[in-house]
Structures are given as structure tokens and as C-alpha cells.
Amino acid sequence: MNDFPETAAPDALTAAVQRWRERGEPPQPPSSWSRPSWLRYFPQHHAFLSALPERIDRAEATRHAAHARTAEGAEQAFLVAMIWGYGPVGYGPWRTARVLTDNTRAAERLAEVACIAQDDGGPAAFRNLADNRLRYLGVAFGTKYLRFVTAAESSQHATPILDAVVRRWLITHAHTPLNIDDWRPSTYDRYVALLTSWATQLALTADHVEELIFRSAISQAGSPLWGEEWTRAPEPAPPQQAASQAHATLLQLDRLFETADPQAAANARTHLDELATIIRDRWDGPATLHAGAEPSADHPG
């Protein structure tokens, strides 16, 4: 399962963990969302959606995932996971509706996946989704669902999310490209093994490592939705600022591909990775970014 040699946690990660601990280990801020938009696409869930809080955090999504072993519970858990993941992004309800309406027995499949995830772990559920795809559900948002259903079973064994934010961070700080444009179980297994290794070194869980990678990545460019002061480093010098802005732009482009055609996304990401190499060569990116200037994204992952 683990094709990665044992590697030390990157400096950028250890620094983010240290800042987080120094500030009392604050939770990730909740995600805002547009209740009317989701009600328009899911009128059959009016009572359920109306009862949700104005802002959804990881704990709220995990709470609903506790009932995902039934079709009804799985559909509601999936809705909350997608609300958390898309946040205020306008096309979130439409894309979520496509998954639930354009797949035969989608809710039953989601319940089956939840059972596998809770009984056998996230990687096993990932393999099941790879073998029995749900149309329009990609790795980035599929692993969000897996994260919450596994966290509902065991907070110590929650399976980590793998999206464009994490992928871009791993390229920048660990020189580790991962393909997220298709359901590749070997890739996800390697990713979980890598984060588990770092988690052991840092006395965390793999899920916590992913969360801190994500929060560190999006905070450096001052996201208006998700900026967090605890991760901010001193104002960078002009070359560092240029490198940070360039990586932030690459990350924003990277995220556009999460719901694109997988082959087109894979081709485009190859070019983005080449650009990232040029940026590192031009500005000595890894050393610069380890000092604190990390990429950014515009909504939660």
C-alpha cells in the first residue's frame, strides 16, 4: 500500500502545526452557504435543509454522517458534506443534484459506500467508488463524503480529503504530484500512507494533517472567506510575494478542473505542474514558501 519511503514532514507543515498549537488549536472556521439556492434544487428536503445552521463546520457535517448507513441518512449526509465543501459557490447545488438524480439508486450507493468506509476504512470505500463510479462525483468531493462518514465512525481513523488545494500544496512543499482527475486507488493509498507517516511524526491524525495543510494553503493569500490570522507569516519580500501570488494563481486554476472532463483536466494540470517548476526555479519557490508564503484558494475544499 505504501509506495512512499519514510520522509520527514515538510518544514511548511511543521511550521503550520506549531502556529496552530501556539494559538490553542482553533477549529477550522465554518462554511457559509446559500439556503435558498439549495432549497430550489432540493425541495423534497425542505424540512432538513431549513433545520441546518447558517454556517456548517466539520463537526456538523460529521454529526449528520453518523446516519449514512441507510439510504435516507446517506443522502442527507451527502448533502451536508457538499454544502460544507462548496460553501457559497453558486453552482454547488446544481452539481450535487446531478450526482443524486443522474445515477440510478444514488442514495443506496452512497449508503453502501458509507458502510464500507465505516467497516473497512476510507481506502476500501475509495476502491469501491473506483470500481462502481457515481457519475459526476469526482475525487475531490467524493473524498469529502468519505471523510465525514469515516469521522462519524472514528475520529482517529477519519480518511483525509484529497482535492486541488492539497494536491498543489504537495507539489509545492513535498515535490509529490498526485493525480486527482480519476479514481485511482493506488494514488489514494499512497496519499493516505504519506499523511499517516507525517501524522505519526507530528502526534496528529492523517485527517488533522490534511486539515492543517488545507488551512495553511488557503490562508496565506488572505482568502476573504477562509483567511485565518493564525497562519499568517510576516509580509514577504517582493520576490517571495511574487512567488506566492504565482502559486495562488496556479491553485485557483487547479480548482477549476475538479469537475471538468478528467482527460482534459489531466492534460491541463500537466501544464500547470510545468509552470510550477518554472516558478520554483525562478524564485527558489520551496525555500521561499517554507518561510511562510503559501498558495491560496477561494473556497473550502
Q: Is the pTM of this model over 0.75?
A: yes
Please write the tens of the pLDDT for every residue from 144-153: 999 999 999 9
Give me 53's grid cell. 445552521
- 94: helix, coil or strand? helix
Q: What is the 8-class DSSP label of residue 157?
A: G
The predicted pLDDT at position 297 comes to 33
* Residue 209 zone, left/alpha/beta (φ > 0; ψ -120 to 50; rest): alpha
Please write the tens of the pLDDT for every residue from 141-182: 999 999 999 999 998 999 999 999 999 899 989 999 998 889
